[in-house]
């Protein structure tokens, strides 16, 4: 993994590179950013750069023995700790990161911007709570007591330390504060406020900003082969997360605007036959597409409110969408728009918790219709 493989974030990359070049390398660093940000990817690129045998001023070489092994996730001096849970084949004290190393390498090769939910599903523990156990902390101390084998630095990446058991967190405090020479801790978190203050106080905090609309667009065009127009639409809904953008590709073929526009008209006129047809279409979507559609609906209502409160605000919408939100904002009071937005958010919440899709969508449609036509 090289810095060049990560879209944008140039200022962030420069800070990391300059710290290494100026020999200001903190032994414990915490990369924090939202889910789907570049925090894990940056930690990997940073690990490659600091141990690269032929680094340039801007990136690792990508071809030396250290770079190639780190890229394949097999370097003996790059270790990982991540939340895990028991499975049919792994139980008790064996529920530690090393028991899932093969699965982790396979997962991380294709998911630099993934989530705990994605990871749990990958190794077959979708409905279990994953954490970093006390037994894991013992393994950390044991493995880091050994000197590096091939590289200048021995690096431990702890992914999602907010899922670390309190006893595990307390167990690594001493080595986190006073690690062996040439040993680095890179903690990668989506929610650093859940970490113990004793962990935070021992780390240099490094904020990883969310990806911009343009950075996600370029990523989708360059790595997923999307046309720029479609990439822009998906990026607009991703809210700075590459993970969300990639998930949204699944339903990129659906014309969300036409479907949403027609649905709102059906709710307004109480055309129950048409609503039933829309319900069937929604039901046949996969869950990711359903979530994307409701998020699109929420965004369109939000834009309608913006068109009322800030009519001069320039929105990232195409001509049809801009015309719709302007007219929709004029047709309904702000109170009604806010109530519809609330209903859409509640529907998304229940969808996430596996509500009956047909009942959910039909009830949502009828509720929106009542809100629209209320005196």
- pLDDT band, residue 319 (cuts 50/70/90): confident
Q: What's the fold here for domain 3-209? A: Rossmann fold (3.40.50)
Q: Are 151 and 75 within 8 A, CB to CB?
A: yes
Q: Are 298 and 348 within 8 A, CB to CB?
A: yes
Q: What is the pLDDT of residues 342-364, one digit of tens each?
A: 999 999 999 989 899 999 999 99
Q: Are 64 and 222 within 8 A, CB to CB?
A: no
Report the distance separating Cα 243 and Cα 255, nearest Å.
21
Domain boundaries, the chain: 3-209, 214-248, 250-373
Report the distance separating Cα 44 and Cα 297, nearest Å.
36
Alpha carbon separation from 301 to 264, 311, 362 (Å, rounded): 11, 14, 19
| Cβ atoms within 10 Å of 174's Cβ, excluding its own | 11
Residue 152 above 60 pLDDT? yes
Tell me the DSSP string of 221-288.
HHHH---HHHHHHHHHHHTT-HHHHHHHHTTTTS-HHHHHHHHHHHHHHT-HHHHHHHHHHHHHS-HH
Q: What is the pLDDT of residues 243-273, one digit of tens each?
A: 988 887 755 544 678 889 999 999 999 999 9
Q: Are 17 and 3 within 8 A, CB to CB?
A: yes
Report the distance separating Cα 29 and Cα 205, nearest Å.
6
CATH top class, domain 250-373:
mainly alpha
Who wins on pLDDT, 112 or 290? 112
Return the pLDDT at 250: 54
Return the pLDDT at 292: 80
- With a threshold of 0.85, does the pTM exceed it? no
Q: What is the pLDDT of residues 162-218, one digit of tens each?
A: 999 999 999 999 999 999 999 999 999 999 999 999 999 999 999 999 999 999 999
Q: Do domains 3-209 and 250-373 have the same CATH topology?
A: no
Strand order in the sheet with 183-189: 78-81, 154-159, 183-189, 28-32, 204-207
Diameter of the chain measured on Cα atoms: 75
Average pLDDT over residues 62-79: 97
Indicate the average pLDDT of the chain: 92
Who wins on pLDDT, 271 or 312? 271
């Amino acid at each position: 993994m090289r810095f060049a493989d990560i879209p944008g974030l140039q200022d962030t990359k420069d800070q990391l590179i300059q710290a290494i070049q100026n020999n200001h390398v903190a032994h414990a660093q915490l990369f924090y950013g939202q889910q789907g940000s570049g925090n894990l990817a940056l930690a990997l690129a940073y690990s490659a750069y600091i141990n690269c045998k032929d680094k340039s001023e801007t990136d690792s070489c990508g071809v030396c023995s250290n770079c190639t092994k780190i890229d394949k996730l097999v370097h003996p001096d790059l270790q990982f700790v991540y939340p895990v849970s028991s499975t049919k084949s792994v139980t008790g004290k064996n529920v530690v990161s090393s028991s899932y190393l093969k699965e982790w390498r396979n997962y991380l090769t294709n998911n630099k911007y993934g989530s705990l939910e994605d990871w749990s599903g990958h190794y077959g523990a979708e409905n279990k709570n994953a954490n970093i156990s006390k037994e894991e902390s013992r393994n950390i101390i044991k493995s880091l007591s050994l000197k590096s084998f091939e590289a200048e630095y021995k690096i431990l990446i702890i992914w999602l330390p907010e899922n670390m058991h309190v006893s595990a967190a307390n167990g690594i405090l001493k080595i986190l504060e006073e690690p062996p020479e040439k040993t680095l801790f890179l903690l990668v978190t989506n929610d650093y406020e859940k970490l113990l203050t004793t962990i935070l106080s021992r780390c240099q905090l490094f904020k990883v900003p969310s990806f911009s609309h343009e950075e996600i667009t370029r990523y989708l065009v360059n790595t997923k082969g999307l046309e720029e127009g479609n990439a822009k639409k998906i990026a607009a809904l991703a809210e700075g997360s590459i993970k969300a953008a990639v998930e949204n590709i699944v339903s990129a073929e659906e014309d969300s605007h036409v479907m949403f526009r027609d649905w709102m008209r059906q709710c307004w006129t109480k055309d129950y036959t048409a609503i039933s047809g829309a319900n069937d279409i929604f039901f046949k979507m996969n869950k990711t597409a359903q979530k994307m559609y409701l998020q699109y609906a929420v965004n369109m209502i939000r834009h309608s409110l913006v068109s009322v409160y800030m009519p001069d605000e320039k929105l990232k919408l195409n001509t049809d969408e801009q015309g719709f939100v302007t007219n929709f904002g004029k047709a309904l009071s702000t109170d009604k728009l806010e109530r519809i937005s609330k209903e859409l958010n509640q529907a998304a919440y229940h969808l996430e918790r596996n509500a009956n899709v047909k009942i959910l969508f039909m009830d949502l449609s009828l509720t929106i219709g009542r809100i629209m036509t209320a005196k």
